Amino acid sequence: MAAIGRTQFPKVRLLGVGWLAGLALICAASTLPAQGVTPLNPTTMQFTDPAHGVSFTYPASWTFDKSQPFFMSLAITPADDAPATEGLSALIYTKSIPGMTLAPDTMFDGMEFAYDVHNVPTSDACLVLAKPANLQVPIDHVDEVTIQGNHYWHARTSSAFVGHSLNDDIYTFYSSGYCYRFDLAVSLSSANQGTPGPRELTPAEKAHVDASLQSVFNTVRIVPPAQ
């Protein structure tokens, strides 16, 4: 399995004889494998994040890359001055899916799936993170959904600039001091020049794109590590 991440060590204060317990905790953390991507078969990849207990599968044609692939940034993208520990945990994306008419004929630019993890003391603190701050379209409503036995807060938002837009569905899950945010986003662009310009997606095409993203999200499994 190729390593694509790094293990974050917990901060431990060693006081007196407690240094043995602290050393044991550090050693335990250091034995956790890094994030990894493994081919399950010629068409499917599996992502695992042992440090946060997250795993999911996705089509092998998608790309794993933590850098932003489209013009607009995800709603859960940390601010420029945010600590490095608040970055995205993983991001996958694709600019084509079977059965989809692509740019420049349509406004479809691609879609991406990403998540991040925050240590928070309570579910109320996690609920605050379910509505990211400084969004172009603020989130004023969060509903509750259950997917694969996990109870999520779900919110929608969007952003746009000079012919580009990104529509985000954010699913937030709290367990055992961890707040997980999953961002399912569709990138659209009308910036392609030409006559006629790219057309909007039909309702059937929108449903096809949403179903493709949801099929990845439906494979997510979360087993929060012991605190």
Q: How confident is the model at residue 134 (pLDDT cuts 50, 70, 90)?
A: confident
Nearest Cα to Cα of residue 58 among 77, 76, 37: 37
The single-letter code of the amino acid at 227 is Q
Hey, what are 139's tokens?
């989130």
* pLDDT tens-digit series, residues 72-115: 999 999 877 666 667 899 999 999 998 888 878 899 999 999 99
Locus of tokens 């969007």:
158
Domain 40-222, second-level architecture: 3-Layer(aba) Sandwich (3.40)
Specify the DSSP element, H or E, that contains 112. strand 108-119
Q: Which residues pair with 106 in a beta bridge?
A: 199
* pLDDT tens-digit series, residues 145-195: 999 899 999 999 999 999 999 999 999 999 999 999 999 999 999 876 666
Nearest Cα to Cα of residue 168 among 150, 156, 153: 156
pTM: 0.83
Domain ranges of the chain: 1-34, 40-222
